[in-house]
Amino acid sequence: MSATSRFLRTLAILLAAAAPLVAQAPEGIPRDLARQRAQQLQDVRYRLSYSISPKAPFIAGHEELRFVQNAYARGILPELLDFREGEVKSLTINGQAAPATIQNGHIELPAKLLRLGENVVDIDFTAPVAPAGKAFTRFEDKDDGSEYIYTLFVPMDAEMAFPCFDQPDLKAKFRLEVTAPLEWAVISNTTGVETFEANAGGGGIHRLEFPETKPISTYLFAFAAGPFKKVHDVPGMPGLYVRQSKLQKAEAEAPEVQQITADGIKYLSKYFAQPFPFPKYDMVMIPGFAYGGMEHAGATFLREESILFRAAPTHSDHLNRDILLLHELTHQWFGDLVTMRWFDDLWLKEGFAQYMAYHALADLKPNENVWKRFYQAIKPAAYAIDSTQGTTPIYQEITNLKDAKSAYGAIVYSKAPGVLKQLAFVLGEDGFRDGLRLYLKEHAYANAEWSDLVGAFERVSKKSLSEWASAYIKRRGMPQLDVEWTCAEPSGVSHVTLTQHNVLPEAGTWPVATQVLFHYRMTESVLRVEWQGTKTNFGDATKGQGCPQWIFANDADYAYGRFLLDPGSRKAVMASLGGIHDVFERTLLWGSLWDSVREAELDPSEYIELALKLLPNERDEALAQSIIGRMTTALHRYESPEVRGRLVPKAEALAYDQMLHSKEADMRIIWFRALRGVAETDKARARIKDLLSGKLVVPGVELRPLDRWNMITGLVALNDPEADALLAAEEKRDPSGDGRKYAYMAAAARPDAATKKLYFDAYLHDASRPEDWVEQSLGLFNYWNQEQLTLPYLSRALEALPQVKSQRKIFFVLGWLNAFIGGQQSPQAQAEVQKFLAGATLDKDLKLKILEVSDELDRTVRIREKYASGKPEHGL
């Protein structure tokens, strides 16, 4: 809410003060209010009619709301409807006109106009539409001038689109009518039927009516409207829609997108023993959509850029797209059919969607080493957040729905699926599956809590999970597991001790089930170990096999925690890493070495040197990509300018060579990206410019517009003398809607103070800029080599957090902090963050986010102090 509208609202409340108000309506939706309403109300139905006029800053709507009020000892109770930022034109309750005052985002329905049993409320209202910051987003397609409007409500913005009981456990049936320009399609939770058409002159309109939905939560109701086209329309296949200017591109990708989705529906229906829970399944691609996807019941919205690749894609990019599609699909059961009662159990839907997406893909594409990909994509973010002071338990207490946005992050998307993998290992695959089946069956079209799920697993497996749940669900943090062992030839290992401690300075141990790997020169063996407490001893089990080269305590990645190698094993691993045939094992060990770097136990230069040595022979694209990414991070963050100056030319030369000579196209693509990422010297920048001019090509790879824009952005950020001319030329060459966005992003990386000032002011005060433009430019504004230019904005960015939280979509706050804190590397910046934390009065969730993100800055300072020579000066 902007300062102006807050002022007007205060004024409205003051003016309305003469009218008798029962009590001050609360801000947001407190947990208690939600509990009361869930008890008092049932059988909620919304019948909504919207009339859309192109370009208008609001949408006019009519709502008929029906609900049953239960009988209570105190008689009939008043009810609060939630409605923010719109206007009520008229309100009648059971046929009688009522005052339509909005107070703190609520409309009061007075008890005297309500009755026991069914009530009918009729409301005429308008709701705002804008390019950013509202529940209705308008997208203008610069490619062909078309306009699109779509809803996005999660977690509590439905109340910006219509008056409602905006909480997940008041599931309702929705009927929808939309009147819109004749050439517009409308996609919603059910399939619309045209019931009216008028063609007056050039601008006709039509009305589409959508049959009533199954009971769904308010945040799962949605529609998208505009000249969308249905792509590759094949009977029996899920529907796929795209804006008309991208139809041709979408036609090429559609068969693959539809096939994995159709296969996923088949697989999940069988796995869950529940047929697809809604009457149809459509997917709508939306440019600049705030998330990868949103799982509205029967109508998933997808970020167009995640489906229609803007840069030359690798095989991993295709598989990541499969994961996104399967994630949103899983939500149709986990989230939509059975919904968490409150957003404190957000992990129930996000953790499962993430875990089951990999589970399904592992079955559908058995040759893709999917669980290795799970480890690579999921675990690093989980372990990173869980070792910070900003972490929370998986179950996150949320006392008001207005704070629910902050529940989204690595805890629900990464820790929760990681913990579920551990649980499946404890219960066994069958027990895990049967527990899920029971849970879905018992709570279909209703709501549930984490204890319902754990209860289902306990009933099926006959195992008590109370200790397990209190450690993994209710407590924050994670264990670090250390291995200590002794061995002598020829008798072999005489003892192995596993110890655990909390990575946070807090008490607590975790029940652990893991598979320990013993790697011998010629062979390997594994041992399942389950224990609770700080320490366990074993070793006899492997006696007689001689001495292993190394022991790793989380083979196949079943357990959840930090697994560092003991010094002897680490030395052996670093000597033989390139020769390990099993790519999953190789990946886990590279991961463990990186953890050692982040713990300031391994010199980042050693990691980089090892990467430079082994990467030329690394044939696994996903692993190579992750090593390159970490090597680049170490170069840009952890090294002194001197060491970077010595290592960067080596990295550049390797990238250039591999980009030209790797056998597989996928590898040439990732090495092209690597060259772009590390290029600093004149020589490497000249090569980037040759790629742009066409003098140099990546053999067999057709670069796409975003590849070109990324190269230009890098040159701009590095202050290359030709960068401005190249940027101007590219703007002419690519005047598309995407091109305008990328040009805006590239210019954010310009290393001068005037640019930074201009962009920063606009971030906070220009509401007309689409949110994805802003969000995707933040990291470029804070380019790694510009900390001195951006440091002055650090505290201002922190001070703006409450505004950013209230005005922006879910992931924006985290992106904001990652950019502004993540752009810094110095003790001065660290001190500024600490000073801000000590002085500010902040919502608890915001404070935790700062603690989460600033952990990487703390580590950077620690690593540089320990290893970087020539400290403390560094930077540009």
The residue (of 218 and 605) whose beta carbon lies closer to Zn ion is 218
Query: CB 515: neighbour CB atoms within 10 A?
Result: 17
Whether the CB-CB separation of 637 and 860 falls below 8 Å is answered with yes
Using a 10 angstrom Cβ sphere, with 0-12 exposed, 13-18 middle and 19 or more buried, the burial of residue 145 is exposed
The residue (of 288 and 351) whose beta carbon lies closer to Zn ion is 351
The residue (of 322 and 350) whose beta carbon lies closer to Zn ion is 350
The least CB distance from residue 407 to Zn ion, in Å, is 12
Whether the CB-CB separation of 539 and 572 falls below 8 Å is answered with no
The residue (of 350 and 639) whose beta carbon lies closer to Zn ion is 350
Query: Which residues share a beta bridge with 150?
Result: 137, 224
Name the DSSP class of 736: S
The residue (of 353 and 454) whose beta carbon lies closer to Zn ion is 353
Q: Please choose, out of 16-24, 347-355, 757-765, 796-804, the segment that lies near Zn ion by the rule CB under 5 A.
A: 347-355
d(CA 28, CA 309): 38
Size of the site for Zn ion (CB under 5 A): 2
Whether the CB-CB separation of 675 and 631 falls below 8 Å is answered with no
The residue (of 352 and 552) whose beta carbon lies closer to Zn ion is 352
The least CB distance from residue 294 to Zn ion, in Å, is 8
The least CB distance from residue 321 to Zn ion, in Å, is 15
Structure tokens at 262: 């159709």
The residue (of 325 and 610) whose beta carbon lies closer to Zn ion is 325
3-state secondary structure of 283: strand
The least CB distance from residue 327 to Zn ion, in Å, is 6
The least CB distance from residue 157 to Zn ion, in Å, is 16
Q: Please choose, out of 92-100, 163-171, 181-189, 348-356, the segment that lies near Zn ion by the rule CB under 5 A.
A: 348-356
The residue (of 353 and 556) whose beta carbon lies closer to Zn ion is 353
Task: Give every strand in the sheet of 550-552, ordered side by side.
Answer: 524-531, 512-519, 550-552
The least CB distance from residue 292 to Zn ion, in Å, is 8
The least CB distance from residue 230 to Zn ion, in Å, is 25
Whether the CB-CB separation of 686 and 680 falls below 8 Å is answered with no
* Cis before 827 (ω within 30): no
Q: Please choose, out of 95-103, 353-361, 692-700, 720-728, the segment that lies near Zn ion by the rule CB under 5 A.
A: 353-361
Which x/- pattern, by CB under 5 A, does the window 167-206 give for Zn ion? ----------------------------------------
Q: Is the dihedral of CA 857, 860, 866, 870 positive or negative?
A: negative
Closest CA to 301 of 654, 851, 827, 809: 809
The least CB distance from residue 331 to Zn ion, in Å, is 5
Q: Please choose, out of 167-175, 344-352, 361-369, 747-755, the segment that lies near Zn ion by the rule CB under 5 A.
A: 344-352
d(CA 505, CA 510): 15
The residue (of 413 and 759) whose beta carbon lies closer to Zn ion is 413
357 binds Zn ion (CB under 5 A): no
Closest CA to 281 of 306, 304, 262: 262
Q: Please choose, out of 180-188, 222-230, 233-241, 352-360, the segment that lies near Zn ion by the rule CB under 5 A.
A: 352-360
The least CB distance from residue 250 to Zn ion, in Å, is 23
The least CB distance from residue 262 to Zn ion, in Å, is 20
The least CB distance from residue 306 to Zn ion, in Å, is 13
The least CB distance from residue 329 to Zn ion, in Å, is 10
The residue (of 353 and 848) whose beta carbon lies closer to Zn ion is 353
The least CB distance from residue 354 to Zn ion, in Å, is 7
Structure tokens at 6: 């807050």
d(CA 798, CA 775): 16
The least CB distance from residue 293 to Zn ion, in Å, is 7
The residue (of 353 and 688) whose beta carbon lies closer to Zn ion is 353
The residue (of 135 and 412) whose beta carbon lies closer to Zn ion is 412
3-state helix, strand, coil in the chain (%, to 5): 50, 20, 30
The least CB distance from residue 353 to Zn ion, in Å, is 4
3-state secondary structure of 63: strand
Phi and psi at residue 306, in whole multiples of 5°? Answer: -80, -15
411 binds Zn ion (CB under 5 A): no
The least CB distance from residue 811 to Zn ion, in Å, is 12
Closest CA to 2 of 807, 865, 810, 611: 807
Q: Please choose, out of 343-351, 370-378, 509-517, 698-706, the segment that lies near Zn ion by the rule CB under 5 A.
A: 343-351
Q: Which region, left, alpha or beta, applies to residue 544 given φ > 0 means left and ψ of -120 to 50 means alpha?
A: left
Structure tokens at 774: 């802003």
651 binds Zn ion (CB under 5 A): no
Name the DSSP class of 76: S
Q: Which residue has the tokens 């230009």?
A: 712
Q: What angle do CA 636, 642, 643 make, to 5 degrees?
A: 60
The residue (of 353 and 382) whose beta carbon lies closer to Zn ion is 353
d(CA 705, CA 735): 11
225 binds Zn ion (CB under 5 A): no
Q: Which residue has the tokens 């919904």?
A: 339
d(CA 817, CA 801): 9
323 binds Zn ion (CB under 5 A): no
Q: Please choose, out of 136-144, 237-245, 351-359, 491-499, the segment that lies near Zn ion by the rule CB under 5 A.
A: 351-359
Whether the CB-CB separation of 793 and 760 falls below 8 Å is answered with yes
The residue (of 85 and 350) whose beta carbon lies closer to Zn ion is 350
- The secondary element (H helix, E strand) that includes residue 683 is helix 682-693
The residue (of 360 and 747) whose beta carbon lies closer to Zn ion is 360
Closest CA to 654 of 667, 666, 665, 642: 667
Q: In the set 208, 353, 478, 627, which binds Zn ion (CB under 5 A)?
A: 353
Query: Which residues share a beta bridge with 41?
Result: 69
The residue (of 350 and 585) whose beta carbon lies closer to Zn ion is 350
d(CA 563, CA 588): 10
Q: Please choose, out of 260-268, 350-358, 455-463, 733-741, the segment that lies near Zn ion by the rule CB under 5 A.
A: 350-358
Whether the CB-CB separation of 93 and 109 falls below 8 Å is answered with yes
* Cis before 313 (ω within 30): no
Q: Which residue is nearest to Zn ion (CB)?
A: 353
For Zn ion, the binding residues (CB under 5 A) are 350, 353
